[in-house]
Amino acid sequence: EHNFSVVLGSELGNAGEGLTREENALVDYYLGLDAERFSGNSVSTFTAMIILERQWLERPSAHYNGGSVPLNLFLPFFSHRT
């Protein structure tokens, strides 16, 4: 049995109210970095950057949809691990 909690930005109430799209993205980025575990869309460069930084921090991450991670084509040292 796993005890995971999925938190959506919409569940944070008015926490992002009044922020620009870019500021909300920054909040999402740091939430993804600080999460105990992170899972993101395989075709998203946003996800790829979070996974890359989490690898450097030796924190678990994964991607879904079964596609490749976009940065893998441009950064040969980027290999996905969980």
Which amino acid belongs to residue 21?
Answer: R
pLDDT string in tens for the chain (82-residue length): 677 777 766 676 665 578 888 888 888 899 889 988 888 887 788 888 888 888 888 888 887 776 665 566 665 554 545 4
Q: What is the pLDDT of residue 67?
A: 60
Q: What is the pLDDT of residue 56?
A: 87
Q: Which of 31, 76, 28 is nearest to 52 (CA)?
A: 76
Q: How many CB atoms are closer than 10 A to CB 63?
A: 22
- The DSSP-derived string for 44-69 is -HHHHHHHHHHHHTT--EEEESS---
pTM above 0.85, yes or no: no
